Structure 1
């Protein structure tokens, strides 16, 4: 770590190392625990909930997404349109045909309908208790929130393992704060910070 305060790069690397050290069994148990617990907000029938296709050792949102679908939510997954561009969201279900996108991440095929989500489940590398997150550095989610929140209210829910928590994320003015962070152990409501 450099200087007195760790940089985003330092925090990201340390949090990802802790996340990578979790066993497959711990990852599955965490995803199941979150899906079985009460979601932090009411999801109305027909509301669009966007998740993500987990990569590497990311928290798997699919059990939670399927639980929300049983309550009437419409599900969506992000599509990376281009570098430095907001994400696009396409309707998804467990039976949706998937293709590998530009970054090699699975996403719905181009014929899946586009939707603007009401709730976004957000992957992350690290988080703090005030709702700041560290992603992977591409800025896709910050740009997406900036664009979509001009259209309507969108609730941002970070999904993470508790080992990804850091004391404080050095946030910049353009960094979007999460409304909630959900880990295998707790739900943190950050809206009052």
Structure 2
């Protein structure tokens, strides 16, 4: 009797391509009002977890990414937010105080170079795919893994929250490399998943 060969697991690049397809299809299926309502629902789920944080790091969303803007609009008195700032394409990015008003080396808006650099207590992380244990697949450049490793390198406690549409959160385990920084939680417009 022949023993069947095991089906190879999808590679990270295959999973990334699938996650990008899911993200694009989901975002394209939404009209403006529905999208705004879902992003507001995400804010209602996330904001209670930001109480007590002084600095929240967010991101300027790409077209298909869920936007953290309603979360930032709901921050309390005394809370500040930062956005990724790249000196050049190969740099480990910093978070500088928002808003994003200038193009980054990648073409995405970022704060100006003279904006204050911030050390976040909580980082809102965009994802392509994530699983319920906090493994995240991003765009494959390692920007967030390097920035978070740099931030935590000094022993600074930083909570990470992945933000995504429901179709980007998967049940099964995703492949993980030694340098991947796991998320502490993942939030969608309808769910909060504590991963730690």
Structure 1 length-normalised TM:
0.88
Q: Aligned equivalents of 1:71 and 1:132: distance in 2?
A: 32
Q: Flag the structure with larger Rg.
A: 2
Describe how 1:4-153 pairs up with structure 2 within 5 A: 4-22=8-26, 23-25=30-32, 26-37=34-45, 39=47, 41-44=49-52, 47-68=54-75, 70-92=76-98, 96=99, 98-151=101-154, 152-153=156-157
Q: Aligned equivalents of 1:66 and 1:21: distance in 2?
A: 27
**Structure 1: runs of 5 or more not aligned:** none
- RMSD of the alignment, in Å? 1.7
Match of 1:179 in 2: 184
Q: Aligned equivalents of 2:60 and 2:87: distance in 1?
A: 15
**Structure 2: runs of 5 or more not aligned:** 1-6
In structure 1, which of residues 168, 172, 175 is the aligned counterpart of residue 173 of structure 2?
Answer: 168
CA positional deviation for 1:39: 3.2
Structure 2 length-normalised TM:
0.87
Residue pair 1:85, 1:143 contacting (<8 A) in 2 also: no
Q: Aligned equivalents of 1:80 and 1:108: distance in 2?
A: 9
Q: Aligned equivalents of 2:114 and 2:63: distance in 1?
A: 27
Alpha-carbon spacing, 1:162–1:97, altered in 2? closer, same or farther (3 Å):
closer
CA positional deviation for 1:97: 6.2
Alpha-carbon spacing, 1:81–1:50, altered in 2? closer, same or farther (3 Å):
same
